[in-house]
């Protein structure tokens, strides 16, 4: 029973914090921020908020400082909107999962490009294959017009 309640509270905290960060927080350091998830223990006294920040390392540090300085404001928003006995103490954690997945896909793309043959004959064969379907499509369109005229 406690796990369902903690999951609901975690999702509600995520919604309240993400809405407050997006619409109510006026700190210029907090920009390009996504609230990914919230982890709440069963006593509901703390909340670990995983945050993804677009930008370089300097932007990420500034955003985390802005979020930590706005912690009291965000906790007051949680207290206003959620009916809990204790308002959770917020902890912000920078999540690099998205950046790591982008880097992994870039590396995989580079490997795929290296495995393709670099010979100029292979490029000519691709051009011939691309032009072949267009030639085959033209007679079909003329036969389609003949079929339309017959009906």
Q: Quick one: pLDDT band at residue 1, thresholds 50, 70, 90?
A: very low
Give the CB-side neighbour count of residue 109, counting CA atoms within 13 A. 6
Ranges of beta strands (E only) in 40-109 are: 46-53, 89-94
* CATH code, domain with 38: 3.30.300.20
CB-CB neighbours of 53 under 10 Å = 24
The answer to whether residue 22 is domain-embedded is yes
Q: Is 116 contained in some domain?
A: no
Looking at residue 41, its pLDDT comes to 95
Range of the domain at 67: 2-95
The token duo for 11 is 């999702």
The overall average pLDDT reported for the chain is 83
Domain count, the chain: 1
For residue 122, what is the DSSP state? H
What are the pLDDT digits (tens) for 82-125?
A: 999 999 999 999 998 888 888 899 999 999 999 886 645 544 54
Q: Which residue has the higher pLDDT, 78 or 140?
A: 78
């Amino acid at each position: 029973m406690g796990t369902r309640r903690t999951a609901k509270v975690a999702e509600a905290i995520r919604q309240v914090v993400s809405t407050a960060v997006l619409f109510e927080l006026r700190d210029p350091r907090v920009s390009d921020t996504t609230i990914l998830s919230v982890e709440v223990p069963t006593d509901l006294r703390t909340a670990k908020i995983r945050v993804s920040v677009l930008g370089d390392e300097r932007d990420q540090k500034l955003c985390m400082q802005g979020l930590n300085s706005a912690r009291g404001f965000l906790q007051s928003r949680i207290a206003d909107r959620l009916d809990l006995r204790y308002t959770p103490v917020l902890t912000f954690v920078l999540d690099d999962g998205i950046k790591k997945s982008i880097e992994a896909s870039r590396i995989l793309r580079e490997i795929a490009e290296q495995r393709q043959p670099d010979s100029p004959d292979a490029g000519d064969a691709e051009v011939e294959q691309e032009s072949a379907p267009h030639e085959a499509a033209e007679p079909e369109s003329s036969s389609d017009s003949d079929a339309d005229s017959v009906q």
